[in-house]
Structure 1
Amino acid sequence: MDRKGITGMGYRCLILLISILAFASCKEENNKLPEPKEDMAVVVEPVHIYEFGFNLNDFIVKRDTVKKGDSFGEILERNKIGYPKIYNIANIARDSFDIRKLQVGKPYTLLCSKDSLELPKCFIYQPNQEEYVVINFQDSIHAYTSKKPIKYVEKTATGIITSSISAELEAQGLSQRLAYKMADEIYAWTIDFRRLQKGDRFKVIYTDKYIDDTIYTGVHNIKAAYFEHNKEPFYAFEFETDSTKGIIDYFNEEAKNLRRAFLKAPVKFKRISSRYNLKRRIAVYGFKVRPHKGTDFAAGIGTPIMATANGTVTESRRKGGNGNYVKIRHNATYETQYLHMKKRKAKVGQFVKQGDVIGWVGMTGNTGGPHVCYRFWKNGKQVDPFKQKLPEAKPISDSLKVKFLDFIEPIKTTLDLIPFTNEITDGGLEDNLITFKN
């Protein structure tokens, strides 16, 4: 091949090589990742935590409980507040809250300044889960009582009994308050819950109570219930019959009151230690006849004592062998008396409702052990309550009956539409016969 041909071939090769290098260069450029940009600052908004009406982020929060021997002054003094200022705070706040009423074991919160001194600016005391007392001394001194927000959540429950309603509720992790309310408040006079049958079934519409959306405080009330016992249906609907006195009763679908005028007993008792007996003889008195005109219900000291019926307190005092006692007039016919209390709660002139706590079991007066002696008067004479044909509760008035029937109509429809689950089969009872819906 001549020189000219070689030169032409070399030229073409050179052009091809340049093209290949250019293509590779472009491909490499295209495959390059973009240069990373500088990191941008991320702004995180602080989470504001509010409690008792304050933004807790603005303070150093110190929580504690009232200890034995603590006082309002000692708590503040421990936290660097001098007694002249403590006296001034207590003096101004006393019209809103008596600082002497701090109870051992109750929680309190100090909101302190966010500096090295951490001086208290506000004292918050919680006498119970719902209420709290604020004594604010950041600028001017003022005190007030308030309540935490409360939420009520309506729920439903259905079930078929295999052993007892309490056992079934416990197995499902639900409040025993449901069983108590159905057994003692709603169906106490119509169904004996100690003798439920396998296959008895129920459904309820009830309300759970929450404080601050998170603190569960239990079943607030049962709005409506259906219980099928021995294949006989029992409806119950909650209805307020007296808004002035706050009287609420349960009625069936025909507006008949489900309760009696009197509870069977004034306490949750262990046993009846002594019955009404006009011929009782006691060894310590030489077996002389010592009539016992009351019924003694043995119970532990501190057990709540309940009014067995609605009425007005006519006596609340301590006297001789009776010890601390309360007496209630229920109407022109009936009175009741509750003896040997550790402490009385009801005051003379106070209207109490059936089931209200009026005192606590003790051993005051002549008594050999903790109990409440329950005395029952009919037409001014003490009688045995277990031998009386106790009246039914006051029936609903004619004017309220129409309102009641209109009120329960949509509730009954809702109750009837709640399905029973895991029904009894021909082969027997299935597992997990009781189920609950939230």
Structure 2
Amino acid sequence: MKKLFALLFVVLIIACNDKKPEAKIIPKPKFVYEFGYRLNDYKVINDTIKSGENFSEILTKNKVDYAKIFEIVNKTKDSFNIRSLRAGKPYTILAKNDSTQQAQVFIYRRSQVQYTVIDFKDSTITVHNGKKPIKTVIKTASGIITTHLSHAIKSQGLNPYLTYKMADDIFAWSIDFSKLQKNDKFRLIYEQFYIEDSIPVGIGKIKAAYFEHNDTPFYAFNYMVDSTHKAYDYFDDKANVLRRQFLKMPVKFSRISSRYNLKRRIAYYGNKIRAHKGTDYAAPIGTPIESTANGTVIESRYAGGNGNYVKIRHNSTYTTQYLHMSKRLVKVGDYVKQGDVIGKIGMTGNTAGPHVCYRFWKNGVQIDPLREKLPASEPMKKNKKPAYLKFIEPLKIQLDSIEYPPKNILF
């Protein structure tokens, strides 16, 4: 019997040893893609352009010879200006994943979103501009004001652009933001843009806003009014437009250096009367100039004393003109919306300092816009109101349900 048990024990041991080992699951390699390339295939070098460093120096230190650099510069000169590289801007080099580590691709990161790729790994050298995928997230915010709006926004870690949007864009014609009261309140529903799911890169539209000033409620809802030109405007909860037809001025944070004056005398011209039929807004060279209303560009050129200028027809009654630009950013036939940047402040033509001369026509006659009672924007057409009111209904419910910060956290 003992021999039988011993034999069974040996058989069991052999059976256990003959058991096949479990197969190991080898995870698939994780591939990383960016800028249109599989980064695993390259040695990735991230760096920043140093002060005084140029394109040639960057490629030289990344093992590209002078003959190749000359070829790259020559073949890309019509599509990419290598002199546009700016110190402090990041760039990425994709180099060979071998002992040479020679650069194959140069990526200039113009912003967090936009970049330019120069690919010279093959005999064909290519250049293209790209954008990182942007994710839009709808967010909400609220605040109770104890000092001023910008402090309420900043104290909560919100984007300062929200202050500008509310004060200078949405409620500019409804509320005097220099006279806010303690305990005024706001609620917002807005778009936040992200890249790589978590890196914020800006604010999109404010979809809906509520501001309570002096115990008076003000609503604003962003609504498309022109599908052809993708034009949006802000209306209140009764479908009344919030915006005036014209902005107060074509330059933000500016000062009037010379007013409209038909009896102006100039010492340079022997103290003779030289009528000034515009309003001058002084600002540093390069400051953006905005169209004061929606319209179509009818002139964009350089002409004598006017220098670089743009002229816009807004409707059959009103036309505006913007003189002395350093750079024009629109061309004849372009449709521009109120607040669009159409050029930059300069000193072209006859001018003693950087400014924009803003001229205003009504029925073909130049007038002083500061003395003119400018019209409100066109009201919403009656046949469009039902669709609008249905559109804002869920937004208003969401807006009204946003809670304010706790009483012990005031700004």
TM-score if structure 2 supplies the norm length?
A: 0.84
Match of 1:216 in 2: 200
User: Structure 1 pair 377/68, CA: closer, same or farther in 2 (3 Å)?
Assistant: farther
Corresponding residue to 1:100 among 81, 85, 96: 81
Match of 1:266 in 2: 250
For the residues of structure 1 that align with 2:279 and 2:104, how far apart are their CA atoms? Answer: 55
* Residue-pair matches, total: 384
Does residue 356 of structure 1 match 2:369? Answer: no
Does residue 433 of structure 1 match 2:410? Answer: yes
For the residues of structure 2 that align with 1:254 and 1:260, how far apart are their CA atoms? Answer: 17
Matches within 5 A, 1:1-400: 49-64=32-47, 70-71=54-55, 75-76=58-59, 79-82=62-65, 98-100=79-81, 103-105=84-86, 106-138=89-121, 141=124, 142-400=126-384
Q: Give how far 1:144 is off.
A: 4.0
Q: Give how far 1:121 is off.
A: 2.1
User: Structure 1 pair 204/98, CA: closer, same or farther in 2 (3 Å)?
Assistant: same
Q: Give how far 1:191 is off.
A: 0.9
User: Structure 1 pair 198/287, CA: closer, same or farther in 2 (3 Å)?
Assistant: farther
User: Structure 1 pair 420/77, CA: closer, same or farther in 2 (3 Å)?
Assistant: closer
For the residues of structure 2 that align with 1:396 and 1:376, how far apart are their CA atoms? Answer: 26
User: Structure 1 pair 134/284, CA: closer, same or farther in 2 (3 Å)?
Assistant: closer
Q: Secondary structure at the match of 1:386?
A: coil
For the residues of structure 1 that align with 2:27 and 2:216, how far apart are their CA atoms? Answer: 63
User: Structure 1 pair 297/143, CA: closer, same or farther in 2 (3 Å)?
Assistant: closer
Q: Give how far 1:398 is off.
A: 3.6
Q: Give how far 1:312 is off.
A: 1.2
Q: Give how far 1:403 is off.
A: 1.9
Q: Give how far 1:101 is off.
A: 6.0
Match of 2:14 in 1: none
After superposition, give the CA deviation of every residue in 1:61-117 in whole Å (9 maximum; x if it has no partner). 23345676845x6754554445665676678778xx813366121543220012221
Q: 8 Å contact 1:313–1:327 — kept in the other structure?
A: yes
User: Structure 1 pair 102/394, CA: closer, same or farther in 2 (3 Å)?
Assistant: farther
User: Structure 1 pair 186/101, CA: closer, same or farther in 2 (3 Å)?
Assistant: farther
Q: Give how far 1:154 is off.
A: 1.8
Q: Secondary structure at the match of 1:385?
A: coil
Q: Give how far 1:206 is off.
A: 1.4
Query: Where does structure 2 lack aligned partners over 5 or more consecutive residues?
Result: 1-23
Q: Give how far 1:197 is off.
A: 1.5
For the residues of structure 2 that align with 1:143 and 1:335, how far apart are their CA atoms? Answer: 41
Q: 8 Å contact 1:307–1:357 — kept in the other structure?
A: yes
- Letter in structure 2 aligned against 1:109: T
For the residues of structure 2 that align with 1:93 and 1:115, how far apart are their CA atoms? Answer: 27
Q: 8 Å contact 2:48–2:91 — kept in the other structure?
A: yes
Q: Secondary structure at the match of 1:185?
A: helix
For the residues of structure 2 that align with 1:91 and 1:292, how far apart are their CA atoms? Answer: 50
Q: Give how far 1:282 is off.
A: 3.1
For the residues of structure 1 that align with 2:353 and 2:288, how far apart are their CA atoms? Answer: 16
For the residues of structure 1 that align with 2:83 and 2:242, how far apart are their CA atoms? Answer: 42
Corresponding residue to 2:388 among 358, 379, 404: 404
User: Structure 1 pair 197/409, CA: closer, same or farther in 2 (3 Å)?
Assistant: same
Q: Give how far 1:234 is off.
A: 0.8
Q: Secondary structure at the match of 2:316?
A: coil
For the residues of structure 2 that align with 1:421 and 1:104, how far apart are their CA atoms? Answer: 45
User: Structure 1 pair 128/348, CA: closer, same or farther in 2 (3 Å)?
Assistant: farther
Q: Secondary structure at the match of 2:168?
A: helix
Q: Give how far 1:283 is off.
A: 3.5
User: Structure 1 pair 400/65, CA: closer, same or farther in 2 (3 Å)?
Assistant: farther
User: Structure 1 pair 260/101, CA: closer, same or farther in 2 (3 Å)?
Assistant: farther
Q: 8 Å contact 1:224–1:236 — kept in the other structure?
A: yes
Q: Secondary structure at the match of 2:388?
A: helix
Q: Give how far 1:168 is off.
A: 1.9
Q: 8 Å contact 1:377–1:383 — kept in the other structure?
A: yes
Moved more, 331-340 or 123-132: 123-132
RMSD of Structure 2 on Structure 1 (CA): 2.8
Based on CA coordinates, which of the two structures has the bigger radius of gyration? 1
For the residues of structure 1 that align with 2:58 and 2:46, how far apart are their CA atoms? Answer: 12
For the residues of structure 1 that align with 2:303 and 2:94, how far apart are their CA atoms? Answer: 48
For the residues of structure 1 that align with 2:220 and 2:303, how far apart are their CA atoms? Answer: 42
Moved more, 135-144 or 414-423: 135-144
User: Structure 1 pair 237/277, CA: closer, same or farther in 2 (3 Å)?
Assistant: same
After superposition, give the CA deviation of every residue in 1:303-352 in whole Å (9 maximum; x if it has no partner). 11001111111111222221211111111111111111121111122111
Match of 2:8 in 1: none
Query: Where does structure 1 lack aligned partners over 5 or more consecutive residues?
Result: 1-40, 424-430
- Letter in structure 2 aligned against 1:195: K
For the residues of structure 1 that align with 2:76 and 2:351, how far apart are their CA atoms? Answer: 44
Identity in percent = 57
For the residues of structure 2 that align with 1:68 and 1:374, how far apart are their CA atoms? Answer: 39
Match of 1:14 in 2: none
Q: 8 Å contact 1:269–1:298 — kept in the other structure?
A: no
User: Structure 1 pair 385/101, CA: closer, same or farther in 2 (3 Å)?
Assistant: farther
Q: 8 Å contact 1:65–1:104 — kept in the other structure?
A: no
